[in-house]
Amino acid sequence: MEANRYDAYREDTAGRANVADSPERIAYYKELARLETGALWTVANKIEPWAPRSVSVPVVWRYQELRGHVLRSAELVSPEEAGRRVIYLNNPGRRDVAAAVGWLYSGLQVMQPGELASAHKHSHSALRFIMEGRGAYTVVDGHKMTLGANDFVLTPNGTWHEHGVAEDGTTCIWQDGLDIPLVNALEAGFYAVHPDLNQAVTYPVDDTSAAWGGVALRPQVSGWTKPYSPLFKYEWEPTYEALRRYARTTAGSPFDGILLDYVNPATGGPVMPTIGASMQMLRAGEHTKAHRHTGSFIYQVAKGSGFSIIDGKRYDWTERDIFCVPSWSIHEHANLSSNDDACLFCFNDLPVMRSLGLYREEALKENDGHQILI
């Protein structure tokens, strides 16, 4: 708003603020400002929009353009210096909070064979999706998990966690996803470094997968009461096989193809209170219809190539590319292959939207449900 103008957001619509400036009113507004107050009608239409207006913009982060820079960081900075050696994804509309989209953060982390980052914990919920390499592992509250490409691992808020790569492994890169911007906006962030810098492994390796990884099965006695999933690692092979089995029995969603949510096996709910995740398959040649919904989404291409149309603009993607869909943006996806499927990993803030009663979805009705490119 201009320094001497207070009616920039007025609307000539019944029920909306429509107060024109006058010398007397401007003088009044300035008096209010000196008391650190203001007249609601000068900003009401801005802070109460008719529909969500995301300041995030769609972006595709192309892996082949970023990979060399991610590897270069391993030559320039050690894990001990950096704490975490990460190249973060910076949405042009969210640079002020280092978000990839909405209130979600993401970055690409690299570790070399034999490296081990120190253990810490924080109020932020986090996940990792393995992109390349062999020998990566994560330790969460004493549970050690070995990780391979397209595996998805949780490091929930308040848990001690650390990452490393085995001596006989290869350089590994994975995507980090966190709710850092959200927790910081709520002014609720805490951070602590482990007093011994690294934690002891106090359970058998991959024990959470053994206990909680059965399909439609759960331990009879578990004692699990925490608000996040006890299955810290979700492996790629059974996930992909589940998608393929499901695809044989269903037409899927007209908007998302074959989509399966990662869930907390103890409750059936999301994997963490603030972050949800899914894997979806677009069958050969499939082009979904367009819709929009509240909630911010970050996708990584786990398999295949295709494109998405977001708010009328086409964004091409291929394996390991990452792209985002801002809240309330109309979007549709397409698989460019005529003989193979494409798979998209996604994490989002839907648990927050749903728990607060803010989720809303709307299909595009015009043009047989497809957007016209602009």
- What residues pair up with 70 in beta bridges, in sequence order? none
- In 19-64, the DSSP E strands lie at 60-61
pLDDT class of 220 with cuts at 50, 70, 90 = confident
Supply the mean pLDDT for the chain.
96
**pTM for the whole structure:** 0.95
Average pLDDT over residues 103-130: 97
Checking if the pLDDT of 1 tops 60, the result is: no
Average pLDDT over residues 82-109: 97
The pLDDT assigned to 2 comes to 60
Contacts of 192 (CB under 8 A, 6+ apart): 120, 121, 122
The pLDDT assigned to 170 comes to 98
The pLDDT assigned to 3 comes to 65
Contacts of 323 (CB under 8 A, 6+ apart): 58, 59, 60, 61, 298, 299, 308, 315, 317
Helix (H) / strand (E) element for 172: namely strand 172-178
Evaluate the CA torsion angle 103, 325, 155, 112 in order and state its sign: negative
Which pair of tokens denotes residue 56?
A: 């995030």
The pLDDT assigned to 165 comes to 97
Cβ neighbourhood burial of 333 (10 Å; 0-12, 13-18, 19+): buried
The one-letter amino acid at 285: G
Max CA separation in the chain (angstroms): 76
Average pLDDT over residues 3-28: 94
The pLDDT assigned to 13 comes to 96
Checking if the pLDDT of 60 tops 60, the result is: yes
The one-letter amino acid at 129: F
Checking if the pLDDT of 4 tops 80, the result is: no
The one-letter amino acid at 296: S
